[in-house]
Structure 1
Amino acid sequence: MFCSAFPEDYNKDLYKAHTEDLYKGLLVHLDDPSSLIQDAVLVVLKEASHLNPDLLRRQVEDVKQKHREQRSCLYCDELLEFMRQN
């Protein structure tokens, strides 16, 4: 739903800074104490992963060890696996 606003010809190089900020903002909330928030953010990140998968993969790897919630690391792993399969 969220990513339906992005055109099919979305230029990942031109809008890299925007996508980077989007991913960073969402990844912070993947470490939220509420599993409801984490679940919702994971859905959006999966949906947005096609915008710039290499960038998201690097960012997930960077934040994975910084998250305080063990569950957050599992969400990061799930997101990385999702991107490997798609």
Structure 2
Amino acid sequence: MTTAHKPFKGVIQVGDNHNACRIRGDNNRNYSLRVPHNGCGTRHVVSSGSFFNTLFIRYHPSLEMEGDQLKSIVCKFGTGSVYVG
């Protein structure tokens, strides 16, 4: 969840360009966007035990502008120690 200092009217999108992967600001200051492990362009890299995606924050609902942000999201998981034998 993110909290903005000013009301947000832009678009927050993760990965793929479809409605399930984005929210549109409606002048509130708090938003939450769930990023699924198996959708919205999330990539799973087994060798590193990670999930990757890209978060786009546009401050205008339809234009790309200076100040827009692009963030990489990384979720690392571990299986702990495994003993065989």
- TM-score of Structure 1 vs Structure 2, range by shorter chain: under 0.3
TM-score (norm 1): 0.24
Between Structure 1 and Structure 2, which shows a larger proportion of strand residues?
A: 2
Between Structure 1 and Structure 2, which shows a larger proportion of helix residues?
A: 1
The structure number with the bigger radius of gyration is 2
Relative contact order, higher structure (CA 8 A, sep 6+): 1
TM-score (norm 2): 0.24
